[in-house]
Amino acid sequence: MIRRVPTDTDPPPLSVRRPRAVRPSAAGEPILTARSYSTLLAADVVAFGGPDRDEGIQHRLRERLYAHLAHALAITWLSVDDCHVEDRGDGVLVVPSADIPAHLLLDPLAHHLGAVLRRGNRLLAPAARMRLRLAVHMGPVFRDRYGVSGHAVVHLFRMLDCEAVRAGIDLSDSDLAMIVSERLFQDVVRNNGYVDRSRYRPVAVKCKETTDQGWLWLSDAPGQEA
């Protein structure tokens, strides 16, 4: 069930949850839970380790990443309490509960996160300005004592790291670049009209062993309102 969060109050903090311990098997190996079909979201700070960013700036960027993402989820009528969160150093993995509609993680969340970033960046020096790459995918995942795993998680981070997304945000003034997997995009587009398809353009996803197509959304797409 989606927990509605009022928009006129501060959003709850996006905290990292530690997975519950998994009972080992007789052979001493952890028992995997059954695969569950989930929507997955990954975010990464652009140029987090840049030469103009000392550890103080990096620490502040991490704090803002969690705060901004929590805020954007809240004004999308989603609660962080309904998400599994894993820290990735300069980024984060978010797995919403299975009953959260997948389309909410596309246009609504991207618009809200872009607005939150724009507001947060408006008075900051270039080294402190935060820009994000975002990837959204769907597929089966396993859960164990360490978190979540599976081919869907691997594909999610391959999309996040692909050249099309990096070049897309580097060649624009966008605060946010989001790539959506072909599977998720077609599922959402075919089943509802919530997504503004004109804001997306197809791009090639090529990263390590992964070759696929994704759909790129930029917060300042030419000729469009962010």
DSSP per-residue string spanning 8-69: TSPPPP-PPPPPPP--B-TTSPBPPPPPEEEEEEEEEETTTT-TT--HHHHHHHHHHHHHHH
Question: Which pLDDT score is estimated for 156?
Answer: 97
Q: What is the mean pLDDT of residues 27-50?
A: 80
Q: Is residue 60 domain-resident?
A: yes
Q: Is residue 173 part of a domain?
A: yes
Instruction: State phi, psi for 212 to the nearest 5 degrees.
Output: -160, -175
Band of the pLDDT at 195, cuts 50, 70, 90? confident
On whether residue 7 sits in a domain, the answer given is no
Comparison of pLDDT for 19 and 186, the residue scoring more: 186
What pLDDT is recorded for position 12?
A: 53
- Residue 176 placed within a domain: yes
Report the CATH number at residue 161. Answer: 3.30.70.1230
Helix 163-170 with 151-161: angle, nearest 10 deg: 40
Q: Which two tokens stand for residue 168?
A: 């897309």
- Read off the pLDDT of residues 15-38 as tens digits, 9 standing for 90 and up: 655 444 444 444 555 555 667 889
How many distinct structural domains can be found in the chain?
1
What are the tens digits of pLDDT across the range 51-76?
Answer: 999 999 999 999 999 999 999 999 99
Supply the range of the domain harboring residue 175: 36-218
The whole-model pTM stands at 0.83
Is residue 24 assigned to a domain?
no
Whether residue 86 is contained in a domain is answered as: yes
Nearest Cα to 104, choosing from 131, 83, 132, 133? 83
| Residue 208 lies inside a defined structural domain of this protein | yes
Average pLDDT over all residues of the chain: 85
pLDDT surpassing 80 at residue 218: yes
Classify residue 90: in a domain, yes or no.
yes
